[in-house]
Amino acid sequence: LKWRSGDTDFVLSAIPFGGYVKMAGEEPEEGRDFGPDEFLSRPVSHRLLVVSGGPLANLVFGFAVYLFAYGFFGITTFPGNVVGEVIADSPAYEAGIQPKDTLIALEGKPFENWNWFFNSLKEGENRITILRGETLQVTLRLEKDQDPGIVPYIPPVVGKVLKGGPAYRAGIKPGDRILEINGQKVETWSQLVDIVQKHPDEELEIKWERDGRVMSAVVRTQAASQLQDGKEVKIGKIGIKVASLEIRLNPLEVVRISAEKTAESTILIFYVFYKIISGGISVRSVGGPIMIGKMIEETQSYGFFSLLILLALISINLFVVNILPLPALDGGHILVYGVEALTGKRLSPKAQSIIQQIGFGFIVLLIALIMIMDILRLLGR
C-alpha cells in the first residue's frame, strides 16, 4: 500500500518487519551535485542529528514508559523487617548482625520498609537498632556503593501465579505458603527459588498450606535460560512470584528511579550483545516477533506493571541495536558521519556504497538467523 502526501511517499509493506525513513539525496552518487533540500548537502552536524534521532527516540520512549510505570504503580518491596541471611565476611557480618534479627531503626528513624532501609544506608558509619531478645545497637560501616550483606527474610508465600504455568495447573494460588519440595522443608523464598532452579524440566512434589489445610501436587518445572557469571545456564521455573508490598513514590523519586532503570537496562543489553558476540551466550537466545509475542503472553499474566517494564526493555533494546556501529544501521551512519566530522573529509560515494552493501548483507543474515531461531522456538527445539 503506497500513497503520497506533499513531497513524502508513505509505504505500508506486506511484511511488517521493521521500518525506515529514506530521505531525498540520501544515497551517495559519484559526480552528482545535491540540491539544498537534499540530505547529503546538509552540514555533517545536521546529518548526525538526523540519524541519531531514531535511536534516541527509542531511548526516550523507554525512559517515558519507566516514568509512567513507576509513577502510576510505584515500586515493590519485601514485607517485614526480619533479617533472613547475613553474607559471610560482609559489613553486616562484621557489625554483628545475625539471621532472625529484627531491624527497629536506622539512625534513630523507625524502620519503614526494606527499600527505604537499603536506600538510606550511607557511606561510613550507620547506627542500626535491632531486636534480639533485647534491644541492641550496632554500627554498620560501609564503603562507597558497598553491599551491606543483609538478605531480608522473605517467607515462601506466593504473591502471583502465572496463568497456564506449572504452579497454576497444579492448583497453587496467591496467598499459599510453600511448605516442602521433594520432602525438603522450605522456610524462605530464596530457598524455594534455589530448589526449583536446580531442577529444570523435572518433576517436583510440592506441599503447600492454604487456610490451615495442607495440599500437595507433583509439578513439572519449565526449563528457562538465565545468565550466571556471564554464562548461559538452564534453570527451573514453576511460574510464581513472591508476595510483595507496593510503595508510592513522589515525583522526584519517580524520575530518579526511572533514570537509573534506563541506564541499568542499557548497560545490561550492551553486555548481553557482547556475551553473544564473544560466545558467552548461545545465539539461541536471540529472537524476533515470535519470541517477543511469547514474552508478552507470559508477562501479561503478572499484571500491567510487568508488561510496561517489558515494553521499556524492548524500546531500549531497539536503541542499543540501532546505535551499534554496523553499516546500514543508524549507528553505522553515525560512525561514518562522525569520521567525516573529525577528519573534515567525506568518504567517497564508492566507499560508502560498499559499506552499505556489506551492512545490508549482514542485516539480511541477522534477520534470517532471528527467523530460524523463532521457528525452532515455535517447534519447541
Query: In CATH, what number is assigned to the domain containing residue 137?
Result: 2.30.42.10
pLDDT at 168 over 70: yes
Q: Hunting for cell 551492512 — which residue is that?
A: 359
pLDDT average, residue stretch 78-93: 91
SS3 357: helix
Domain that holds residue 138: 80-152
Task: Indicate if the pLDDT at residue 364 is higher than 90.
Answer: no
pLDDT of the residue at 294: 67
The continuous run of DSSP H or E covering 376 comes out as helix 349-378
Lowest mean pLDDT among 110-114, 234-238, 243-247: 243-247
Residues 318, 299 share a domain: yes
Say yes or no: 364 and 270 in one domain.
yes
Asked if the model's pLDDT at residue 63 lies above 70, the reply is yes
**Is 218 found in the same domain as 103?**
no
> What percent of the chain is predicted at pLDDT more than 90?
40
Give the pLDDT score at 19. Answer: 63
Does one domain contain both 263 and 379? yes
Mean predicted lDDT score pLDDT of the chain: 84
- For residue 140, give the nearest of 115, 104, 107, 100 by alpha carbon: 107
Range from 68-82, 142-156, 274-288, 357-371 carrying the lowest mean pLDDT: 274-288
pLDDT at 122 over 80: yes
Backbone angles phi, psi at 4, to 5 degrees: -115, 140
Domain boundary among 152, 170, 198: 152
pLDDT tens for residues 175-212?
999 999 999 999 999 899 999 999 999 999 999 999 99
The rounded distance, in Å, linking the Cα atoms of 120 and 126 is: 9
Highest-pLDDT range among 53-57, 98-102, 111-115, 303-307:
98-102
194, 286: one domain: no
Residue 293 pLDDT greater than 80, yes or no: no
Instruction: State the pLDDT at residue 124.
Output: 93
Same domain, 264 and 295: yes
pLDDT tens digits, 307-349: 899 899 989 988 988 888 877 778 888 888 888 888 888 777 6
Among residues 323, 341, 258, which one has the least CA distance to residue 53? 323
Q: Check pLDDT > 70 for residue 32.
A: no
Query: Which pLDDT value is given to residue 46?
Result: 84
137, pLDDT greater than 90: yes
Q: Residue 158: exposed, middle, or buried by beta-carbon count in 10 A (0-12, 13-18, 19+)?
A: buried
Q: 326 and 259: one domain?
A: yes
CB 181 within 8 A of CB 196: yes
| Same domain for 195 and 134 | no
Range with the lowest mean pLDDT among 87-101, 137-151, 286-300? 286-300
Q: What is the pLDDT of residues 246-261, one digit of tens each?
A: 888 889 999 999 999 9
Q: Percentage of the chain surpassing pLDDT 70?
A: 86
Output the pLDDT for position 344: 81
Number of domains in the chain: 3
Please give the Cα distance from 17 to 151 (Å, whole number): 44
pLDDT value of position 18: 58
**pLDDT in the model for residue 261:** 92
Question: Is the same domain home to 258 and 348?
Answer: yes
DSSP designation for 79: S
Return the top range by mean pLDDT from 224-233, 234-243, 296-305: 234-243
DSSP H or E segment with residue 103: strand 102-106
Q: Which of 202, 204, 159 is nearest to 181 (CA)?
A: 204
Q: Are residues 254 and 367 in the same domain?
A: yes
376 and 259 together in one domain:
yes
Asked whether residue 113 falls in the same domain as residue 1, the answer is no
Out of 228, 243, 258, pick the residue that ends a domain.
243
Last residue in a domain, options 203, 222, 243: 243
User: For residue 190, which phi and psi values (nearest 5 degrees)?
Assistant: -60, -35
Evaluate the CA torsion angle 39, 40, 46, 47 in order and state its sign.
Answer: positive
> What is residue 360's three-state secondary structure?
helix
